[in-house]
Structure 1
């Protein structure tokens, strides 16, 4: 894990041709094993970024002025002269970075062995989480994408446009036609979609409806922190079979309901749906679960129910939610999947006439609004207004959409089935009586 020759070759290549630095975007001083090589590499990078020529003479002069001894001109000259090919600099750099990663992994393994044998007070689960965080944080082997000239990228993009004209898009339809239309075909991989609502509005039912539809053709992982697997399966059976949930829970199904339940069971058996029930998830837990499913089976959609039940590092809840939100967005891009995360809304919405959610109602952190590509709110007037004329209806509010329209959609909500349905029907208009104030009350 100390292939010094590769370190020497990288530095030698840079001394021969400063432009070779731009082919090594991920290489950092800490990747080098020898301290002298770290110092030399740092100085070369500094000089190049300042627009200066970095060769054995100029680098050694810079060191002499500051009294730094890294072998002097003789050593720098040997590095430059002994490097056979500047073109191989990326190959040498890859070796240096691989060695650095191996050293880091060896250090983590050593620390794990020491901690597990000496620390008898810290729970093993806490130790495991710290080790997982260390491993997940490794970026030494991460490869950056190179900038692409727009005219070159457009050549490939024309193929994408051709596929779109033929109806072949990369979007994943969620199963509700009006919402898919607003979202230009559905949700996209790499995106984080937030579904927000106050309690009892139906956000779990809505997300489960979406997950069951997508799981017909795509691999879907549903992480539940509040409901157990049995509870989710009861809801799936009710919505897919259109069977009264109370009859399922009480075991009092009529012959017709048994038929619907049997049909739902057959459909659930065919779904590519993975359910995981664990409370108090950390972002590292979510990463591990998603990566494991992705590696073993493939993964297209991850659903997290719900954000505020997760825990994370930070001095306060706002910082914790920021870390979790950013982590979920990064995970969507890393695994090339769509991530749907459910979120509670704060109580301010209950103080507002009509109680319709807005973006500022997202609870605990403004970073949720910032990180999300799409934000959808669910509002059912009948939940907070017993005399509502809109019973059985739900307002689905698309309040943020980076790549499409925003607006409101009216849907039917069949509470007995925990089922949302598209509809062209419109609820009766509610006529509210407002008391006139001041002089107006005498008019």
Structure 2
């Protein structure tokens, strides 16, 4: 379908339901044909307040001073509407056509007068085009070709930076579309590890949006861990803040609060149903550039599904839908998972992929599977215990082991470099 036919088909659908001009994601600048652009603008401004196609025609005549489309042609377009037309799909196609034209203009401009601004605009358009292609499940590779050709001549962001060991293993950081699972037995510190990861992500990019779905702890419990980590305050003293904290420590708490007031960070402690979680991620990530959004779920075993299927099948549904969403919306996700008791019954207590609880789909759907396990069961005289971090599956690179120092009293993970 050429651009003229595409625009005409969209207008035909709108002429049969004026309200759709306001409820469908369309923009007048995407239309190249002046008559169609004017029709859309009037429908978008007035919608069902128009008393039929005759009033629409009168407004068109007034705006074009009698030089626009004639009434018979307007009726012909309206009659050409095909029942069952997917207006959302056509709107996406129109948006893509507009972006391709903009990208071609910028490419020509950049070849003559290369600037950082033009380069940034080209990358932004490519990211939007890729999102739109995934949204409508387009099978062609046109946008992929453009992306690869662009990357041959321009540096691109290699992902959200968090822990150095994870950045290295992933070839730069958490990239769009990644589903990363972190498994551990209870009390090893996987929730604290996730809090440290979020903190590092923000430190490297304060413009990010991060959502934490905390299915075990309340917002207050979660944020107190951020306070302990950032303020270097023992969590024991946070239980009676007024009595147990010194004046300087109270000031430190206030500084942490101010720090997070300026960050786009949300904690959902009452959202546990899968569709609700998916809806929030879609809404929050849809307005973000690639690499500017991260979702963390603590933990996958507590997500609810509204059906009576076996729990193993429910987990398969959960991981499959999370992975599909990561791909479609091009966002990275971290999901925490509890390991089965079998790991404690073995002589070698090193976690394995088979220890992921309830379903093999967690391993199958994840790009990366990591484990946390205690190297030391008790903290040493310096106040920390060593926690082993192992990557046992990695579609993005090599497997690896690293060691963290976990200061449990203040919920702080730091990498141990050898």
TM-score normalised by the chain length of structure 2: 0.63
Q: Indicate if the aligned counterparts of 2:89 and 2:136 stay in contact, CA closer than 8 A.
A: no
1:264: how far off? 1.8
Match of 2:403 among 401, 405, 410: 410
What's the secondary structure of 1:343's corresponding residue? strand
Q: Deviations over 1:274-296 (max 9, x none)?
A: 111115x2221111222232357
Match of 2:249 among 257, 261, 282: 257
Match of 2:216 among 223, 226, 249: 226
| 1:61-210 pair list within 5 angstroms | 96-98=85-87, 143-148=136-141, 153-154=144-145, 156-164=147-155, 168-174=156-162, 176-210=163-197
Q: Indicate if the aligned counterparts of 1:382 and 1:388 stay in contact, CA closer than 8 A.
A: no
User: In the alignment, which residue of structure 1 is the partner of 2:261?
Assistant: 269
Distance in 2 between the 1:94 and 1:148 partners?
29
Q: 1:94 to 1:415 in 2, by over 3 A?
A: farther
Q: Deviations over 1:328-378 (max 9, x none)?
A: 111112222111111000011011224111111000000100000011111
User: In the alignment, which residue of structure 2 is the partner of 1:137?
Assistant: none
Q: Deviations over 1:256-314 (max 9, x none)?
A: 423432332222222221111115x2221111222232357776111111111112235
User: In the alignment, which residue of structure 1 is the partner of 2:201?
Assistant: 214
Q: Indicate if the aligned counterparts of 1:318 and 1:365 stay in contact, CA closer than 8 A.
A: yes
What's the secondary structure of 1:326's corresponding residue? helix
User: In the alignment, which residue of structure 2 is the partner of 1:32?
Assistant: none
**Greater length-normalized contact order (CA 8 Å, ≥ 6 residues apart):** 2
Distance in 2 between the 1:155 and 1:188 partners?
19
Distance in 2 between the 1:202 and 1:93 partners?
58
1:160: how far off? 1.7
Distance in 2 between the 1:169 and 1:351 partners?
43
Q: 1:406 to 1:228 in 2, by over 3 A?
A: same
Distance in 2 between the 1:338 and 1:271 partners?
18
Q: 1:319 to 1:389 in 2, by over 3 A?
A: farther
Q: 1:351 to 1:157 in 2, by over 3 A?
A: same
Distance in 2 between the 1:143 and 1:292 partners?
17
Match of 1:364 among 347, 351, 358: 358
Distance in 1 between the 2:273 and 2:347 partners?
36
Runs of at least 5 residues in structure 1 that lack an aligned partner in the other structure: 1-5, 10-90, 102-140, 426-443
